[in-house]
Amino acid sequence: MNRLSPFNVVSLTLGFAFLYLPMVILVIYSFNESKLVTVWAGFSTKWYGELVRNEAFLDAALVTLQVALLTSTLATILGTCAAYVLIRMHRFPGRTLFSGMIYAPLVMPDVILGLSLLLLFIGLNVDRGVLTIVLAHTTFAMCYVSVVVSSRLVAFDRSLEEAALDLGATPFQTFRLVTLPIIAPAVISGWLLAFTLSLDDLVIASFTAGPSSTTLPMKIFSAVRLGVSPEINALSTIMIAIVTVGVITASLVSKRAAVRRLREEKAAERA
């Protein structure tokens, strides 16, 4: 099985070229001197300069960052609670409805989620702004967090929790000292997932944002509707760079942690 046929090599090469070439092209053209997309007029970083001077983009970036930080923190807390309830509590009234409400937002079209939340905010006469975007984002992001965390909770050795309880720990102490450290990697990746989901969302934010709270994707969308611009290419390059560095760092850190755990386990066995 472990031999790649020429067909496999070709399909992998073409596949990854398809996935990565468009972004590579985007990055290359962000350094283009010319405003035209097809003409290469030499290397230049002037579009990055323009970008830094563009205050509308900077303001939008700040709003987006604020929303994403609040969303991911709230969604991680709520999503972890939800996962714990879903996996550990088998009988309570309305459990089916609860699990339905966790899974439905994962496949629900953004336009429906956005529309329904906007109608709620208008019905309650809430002023729309950063807060309403955070509420909306948290609602769908917590469902993603709970899916990630519950997959870790399922694969969890429950006798550890039982031992802690037997030895006199309160349920809360057990959660804090035993459960939480074990599910921590999933909680962290849930936080990261919620953060990127919030950072990325256009549709739900457009529905729930107020006039003074434009997010970066909304700003990019309205600029991009008029056509390709080198400034947006520069902005995209910065965002791609941040994500790439973030994902690679996270995976290296988790790999190191796994190696360390393995070594400690071996040492414990020898002792």
Q: At what angle do helices 230-270 and 46-53 cross, to 10 degrees?
A: 90
CB 147 within 8 Å of CB 241: no
Site membership for other proteins, residue 212 (CB under 8 A): no
Site membership for other proteins, residue 22 (CB under 8 A): yes
Which ranges of 92-202 would DSSP assign to H, the alpha helix? Answer: 95-107, 110-123, 130-154, 158-166, 171-174, 180-200
Question: What part of residues 101-160 is at the interface with other proteins (CB under 8 A)?
Answer: 101-105, 107-112, 115-117, 119-120, 122-123, 135-136, 138-139, 142, 146
Q: Which is nearer to other proteins, 66 or 99 (CB)?
A: 99
Q: CA dihedral defined by 76, 79, 80, 86, rounded to 10 degrees? A: -170
CA 40 to each of CA 37, 123, 167, 218, 236: distance values in angstroms, whole numbers, following the listed order: 8, 53, 70, 29, 19
Q: Within 13 A of 247's CA, how many CA atoms are on the CB side?
A: 8
Site membership for other proteins, residue 171 (CB under 8 A): yes
Query: Contact with other proteins (CB under 8 A): which of 58, 62, 224, 259?
Result: 224
Q: Which is nearer to other proteins, 66 or 189 (CB)?
A: 189
Q: Which is nearer to other proteins, 122 or 160 (CB)?
A: 122
Site membership for other proteins, residue 222 (CB under 8 A): no
Q: Tell me, what DSSP letter sits at residue 45?
A: -
**Token pair for residue 50?**
């323009």
Site membership for other proteins, residue 249 (CB under 8 A): no
Site membership for other proteins, residue 226 (CB under 8 A): no
**Token pair for residue 177?**
């000292």
Query: Contact with other proteins (CB under 8 A): which of 246, 259, 264, 265?
Result: 246
Determine the interface stretch with other proteins among 42-50, 53-61, 217-225, 263-271 (rule: CB under 8 A).
217-225
> By CB under 8 A, how many residues form the interface with other proteins?
84
Rounded to whole angstroms, how far apart are CA atoms 102 and 80? 12
Rounded to whole angstroms, how far apart are CA atoms 50 and 27? 16
Query: Contact with other proteins (CB under 8 A): which of 141, 174, 217, 231?
Result: 217
Site membership for other proteins, residue 211 (CB under 8 A): no
**Token pair for residue 188?**
């962290």
Site membership for other proteins, residue 180 (CB under 8 A): no
Question: What part of residues 81-110 is at the interface with other proteins (CB under 8 A)?
Answer: 81-82, 84-85, 89, 92, 94, 97-98, 101-105, 107-110
Determine the interface stretch with other proteins among 23-31, 44-52, 54-62, 176-184 (rule: CB under 8 A).
23-31
Identify any residues that bridge with 43 across adjacent strands, giving them in sequence order: 32
